[in-house]
Amino acid sequence: MVSKYPRSVRGCLPLWTLMLQAALIVIFFFFASYDSFIEYPEKVVTQGAVLQDMVVMAALGLGFLSSSLWRYSWSSVAFNLFMLALGVQWAVLLDGFLENPALEKVFIKLSRIQQATMTAMSVLISAGAILGKANLAQLVLLVLMEVTAFSATRMISQQFLSADAHVSMMHIHVFAAYFGLTVAWCLSRPLPREAEEKDQRKTSPSLFAMLGTLFLWMFWPSFNSALLSIPDERKNGVFNTYYALAVSAVTAISLSALAHPQGKISMTHIHNAVLAGGVAVGAPCHLIPSPWLAMVLGLLAGLISIGGAKSMPVCFNRVLGIHDTCGVHYTFGLPGLLGGITYIVYLTSWYKDPLIAFQMLYDIAALSLSLAMGLASGLLTGLILNLKIWKAPHVVKYFDDQAFWEFPHLAVGF
């Protein structure tokens, strides 16, 4: 396809990305330095291992999870790396400024890089919903907007709603899923009937997506326990996540066979529903005192996720006009809501203290805040991304070596 835009306009977008990278370096020059405090060697080892697990989940797991659509498998993995690398830099700065605005310097510690990696994962989750709908420059804006919005949400939760670091981070699934869905709603156009059918068919099931799923499945206990500092809570977090994941894997595979008229298993279901248990158990994982509760959560999450995967595409594609490319809604959104609600219910039923009523209201507010901020900032981002200036032609066909120029009508939308 020969581009209709002059060279200068097209050249501008990646150049703008480079400029942004240079600007980030200048900001780091003025405002960031390494923490001179020497941490205990053992703590460095432990935290280093957790950081590595987070990076594996972000770069490999989330990168390959959405690679099952062969038309976007390249973009999925490469753009995922791009957004992660950019998002971490921005999140480190932002977290530092928000945490202590009085200080003129951001001190970089292992724990801050780890939190920044987790914050940047919100972008990677959202990106699953708009895969193939945005170009490089649009993704840069998405990264900056979403990291800012999620960091702000977490800061508000922690400072005004007395949520702890763990719970405010665990709302990442709800925030990111609804952010992504709102952006996808802004970007999508009603597809012609035949394109939609082709879209359904083109999900060539990929072992690569299974690889991403497995990496997420294996390292999820690390993710859920990363911000828990009390050893006993951490242990409970790991165990409960482990059990919830095991049950949701069994549930997902059984239900997928049950839902199919000929008893076959759909790989798309498995990619998504296997992880639902880990998402759902996220917020309450440190409080659950015995495995059966985590297992029930895993079972419910698997049910919701498979149910969503069967009914959502019809509802979303037809009624709302949202095209959720990778099933972000029923992988992260609904199980995340289930987890948030469980956490609130659990707190209430456990403690009989009247003071708890306040805490419960706070927790409801924190969950609603994540949902509302996800929707609001997603809408804002989607509207900005829909402006004419972004509509460069290199949207659909990024990669040199593959010929996937098939849907000319898709390109019209951008």
Which CB, 393 or 413, lies closer to a second copy?
Answer: 393
**What are the residues facing 350 on neighbouring strands?**
none
CB-count burial class (<10 Å; 0-12, 13-18, 19+) for 184:
buried
**Do residues 123 and 91 lie in contact, with contact meaning Cβ atoms separated by under 8 Å?**
no
Specify the residue for token string 């948030």.
340
> Looking at residue 46, what DSSP letter applies?
H
**Minimum CB–partner distance for residue 35 and a second copy (Å):** 8
Which of 121, 174, 147, 145 is CA-nearest to residue 369?
174
Q: Quick check: helix, strand or coil at residue 395?
A: coil
Smallest distance from the beta carbon of 375 to a second copy, in angstroms? 29
> Residues 6 or more apart from 264 whose CB is under 8 A from it?
257
Minimum distance from CB of 376 to a second copy (Å)? 28
Residue 145 or 249 with smaller CB distance to a second copy? 249
Closest approach, Cβ 249 to a second copy, in A, equals 4
Pick the closer one to a second copy by CB: 156 or 279. Answer: 279
Q: Tokens in use for 174?
A: 């709800």
Which tokens sit at 208?
Answer: 């690569």
Closest separation in Å from C-beta 32 to a second copy: 6
**Distance in angstroms (rounded) separating the CA atoms of residues 74 and 28:** 31
Q: How far is the CB of 318 from a second copy (least distance, A)?
A: 22
Q: Which is nearer to a second copy, 119 or 266 (CB)?
A: 266
What is the C-alpha to C-alpha distance for residues 322 and 187, in angstroms, rounded to an integer? 9
**Cβ-based nearer residue to a second copy, 292 or 358:** 292
Burial class from Cβ neighbours inside 10 Å (0-12, 13-18, 19+) for residue 227 reads buried
Phi and psi at 268, nearest 5°, equal: -60, -40
Q: Tell me how far, at minimum, the Cβ of 412 lies from a second copy, in Å.
A: 18
Q: Which is nearer to a second copy, 207 or 357 (CB)?
A: 207
Q: Give the nearer residue to a second copy in terms of CB position, either 47 or 368.
A: 47
| Closer residue to a second copy in complex, CB, 15/383 | 15
Q: Which of 222, 279, 241 is nearest to 55 (CA)?
A: 222
Q: Which residues of 78-103 are buried (b: 16+ CB within 10 A; e: fewer)?
A: ebbebbbebbbbbbbbbbbebeeeee
- CB 17, CB 404: distance < 8 Å: no
Judged by beta carbon, residue 189 or residue 235, the one nearer a second copy is 235
Residue 45 or 320: which CB sits closer to a second copy? Answer: 45
Q: To the nearest whole angstrom, how small is the minimum distance from the Cβ of residue 314 to a second copy? A: 17
Cβ-contact 195, 407 below 8 angstroms = yes
Distance, in Å, from the CA atom of 306 to the CA atom of 326, rounded to the nearest integer, reads 14
Orientation angle between helical segments 73-99 and 7-31, nearest 10 degrees: 30
Provide the minimum distance between the beta carbon of 242 and a second copy in the complex, in angstroms, as a whole number. Answer: 7
Least spacing, CB of residue 158 vs a second copy, in Å? 25
Place of tokens 């989607």: 382
